[in-house]
């Protein structure tokens, strides 16, 4: 019997020839990521038990991304402390206000196929876009910092085979929402969702970050994508050194005779735009059936939907049009590099001409840091979650969708299927 990607990665990082699902192992993460909102608490904890240095500082990345620019005294104090601790504890990779953790790690070439990452954020599985296994942990991250190891049970894998290609107006977000519609929480609990199939090759690495990063909101332990030539080309362009996995992706991809908990198939050509309705991301409806939902706010950004592809697709729909008079549209590129590229391509000029507000790279609205909602307001957003109070008042409503659906809805003032707009954009019409 062959092995899945997850089994191969956890076998290597636990020093074993082979692992089976259900095995309890001690694994050594190749990368540990921690944002400023939690890093100081981890250091406080390990200091209390007598730890004076990180086990593997060269494997640790600390990122100030949640409150950028800082907008509270408490945030300013936390960011100052994070800077001090990163220097004091010789953190190997420190990023201050230059982007959101998960896309930044991939963009900076810190993640490669076959790596095991421990992330202090629930959407750490986004790193699975490049064939890494990235698992979100909570306070256990403090023990990884102290010892370099973490224990975990080897999860089963759900195989999702993608076929064909998405039609205009349909995006990576719609793929993962379609996945959620086929898998309930019982099916996904403590399992890794692995995307593979010829349809995967139609998705860019940032698009794969969307489908992997949102697997956790389908109830999964993590998400991962098979490694193909498109992934390899992206990694080489971003400075990732050649390795056995890059030279021979079959060494990290799942074996043909690997065992899966279940397999589902998705024909991308049949997908339509979808929307997650409150109070949970896995409550999914067709966008075309929701045109009666009036919105006051729209947001394009976050760790799963602030890529250059997202901004291009939104700009294409907004080109030559205006945001509805009753709607506030906020656009936040996921990293400074994406911001600069969007600026060079003229996309930010087009978006502001349409009436959008542009913000520096930050988690911002996703956790209610900025652009908060008041009671009775609705926002359609490309962010990660829509539980009550996530972006302000418990009595506000958050709907989640692709950048194209958000852009189309910002124009009309109500939730809108973007396919008509996307078809016009494809044809070069205004």
> Taken in order 264, 270, 273, 278, is the CA torsion positive or negative?
negative
Residue 129, number of CB atoms within 10 A of its CB? 29
Pair 249, 232: CB distance under 8 Å: yes
> Using the 8-state DSSP alphabet, how is residue 167 labeled?
P
Q: Tell me, what's the pLDDT at 227?
A: 97
Give me the residues paired with residue 191 across strands. Answer: 156
User: Cα separations (Å) of 362 from 134, 315, 332?
Assistant: 21, 20, 7
The domains spanning 5-269 and 276-426 adopt the same CATH topology: yes
Q: What mean pLDDT comes out for the span 276-296?
A: 97
Domain boundaries, given as residue ranges, for the chain: 5-269, 276-426
Residue written as token pair 């290597």: 12
**Helices H / strands E in the chain, number of each:** 15, 18
pLDDT at 376 over 80: yes
- Render the burial of 341-359: b for 16+ CB within 10 Å, e for the rest: bbeeeebbebbeebbbebb
Q: In what side-by-side order are the strands of the sheet with 284-286? A: 284-286, 274-276, 397-400, 378-381, 297-300, 328-331, 357-358
Q: What mean pLDDT comes out for the span 349-376?
A: 94
CATH 3.30.499.10 for domain 5-269, yes or no, is yes
Q: What mean pLDDT comes out for the span 21-28?
A: 98
User: Cα separations (Å) of 395 from 103, 379, 387?
Assistant: 31, 12, 10
Predicted TM-score (pTM) of this structure:
0.96
Pair 119, 127: CB distance under 8 Å: yes
Residue 86, number of CB atoms within 10 A of its CB? 26
Q: Tell me, what's the pLDDT at 292?
A: 98
How does the average pLDDT of the chain come out, rounded? 96
Residue written as token pair 């490694």: 227
Give me the residues paired with residue 31 across strands. Answer: 117
Q: Which CATH class is domain 276-426?
A: alpha beta
Give me the residues paired with residue 117 across strands. Answer: 31, 134
What confidence category does residue 191 fall into, taking pLDDT thresholds of 50, 70 and 90? very high
> Beta 262-267 vs 378-381: how paired, if at all?
unpaired
Question: What span, in angstroms and rounded, lies between the C-alpha atoms of 235 and 198?
Answer: 19
Pair 254, 4: CB distance under 8 Å: yes
Question: What span, in angstroms and rounded, lies between the C-alpha atoms of 257 and 2?
Answer: 5
Residue 197, number of CB atoms within 10 A of its CB? 16
Q: What mean pLDDT comes out for the span 84-102?
A: 98
More confidently predicted of 1 and 183: 183
For 227, phi and psi rounded to 5 degrees? -90, 130
Pair 130, 205: CB distance under 8 Å: yes
């Amino acid at each position: 019997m062959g092995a899945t990607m997850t089994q191969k990665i956890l076998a290597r990082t636990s020093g074993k020839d082979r692992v089976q699902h259900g095995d309890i192992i001690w694994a050594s993460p190749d990368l540990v990521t921690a944002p400023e909102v939690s890093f100081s608490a981890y250091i406080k904890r390990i200091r209390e038990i007598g730890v004076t240095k990180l086990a593997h500082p060269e494997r640790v990345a600390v990122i100030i991304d949640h409150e950028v620019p800082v907008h509270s005294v408490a945030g300013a104090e936390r960011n100052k402390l994070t800077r001090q601790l990163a220097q004091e504890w010789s953190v190997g990779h420190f990023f201050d206000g230059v982007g959101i953790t998960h896309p930044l790690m991939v963009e900076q070439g810190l993640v490669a196929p076959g790596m095991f990452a421990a992330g202090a954020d629930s959407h750490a599985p986004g790193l699975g876009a490049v064939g890494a296994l990235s698992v979100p942990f909570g306070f256990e991250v403090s023990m990884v910092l102290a010892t370099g190891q973490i224990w975990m049970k080897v999860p089963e894998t759900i195989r999702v085979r993608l076929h064909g290609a998405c039609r205009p107006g349909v995006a990576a977000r719609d793929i993962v929402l379609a996945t959620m519609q086929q898998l309930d929480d019982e099916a996904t609990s403590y399992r890794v969702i692995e995307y593979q199939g010829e349809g995967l090759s139609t998705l860019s690495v940032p698009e794969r970050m969307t489908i992997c990063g949102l697997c956790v909101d389908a109830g999964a332990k993590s998400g991962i994508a098979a490694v193909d030539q498109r992934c390899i080309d992206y990694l080489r362009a971003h400075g990732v050194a050649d390795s056995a996995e890059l030279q021979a992706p079959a060494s990290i991809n799942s074996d043909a005779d690997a065992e899966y908990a279940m397999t589902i198939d998705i024909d991308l050509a049949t997908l339509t735009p979808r929307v997650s309705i409150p109070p949970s991301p896995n409550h999914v409806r067709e966008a075309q059936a929701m045109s009666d939902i009036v919105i006051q706010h729209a947001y394009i950004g976050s760790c799963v939907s602030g890529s250059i592809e997202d901004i291009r697709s939104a700009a294409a729909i907004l080109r030559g049009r205006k945001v509805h008079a009753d709607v506030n549209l906020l656009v936040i590129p996921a990293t400074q590099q994406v911001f600069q590229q969007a600026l060079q391509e003229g996309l930010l000029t087009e978006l502001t001409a349409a009436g959008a507000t542009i913000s520096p790279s930050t988690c911002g609205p996703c956790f209610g840091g900025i652009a908060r909602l008041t009671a009775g307001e609705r926002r359609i957003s490309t962010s990660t979650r829509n539980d009550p109070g996530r972006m302000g008042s418990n009595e506000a409503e958050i709907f989640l969708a692709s950048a194209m659906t958000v852009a189309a809805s910002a124009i009309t003032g109500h939730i809108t299927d973007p396919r008509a707009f996307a078809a016009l954009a494809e044809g070069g019409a205004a």
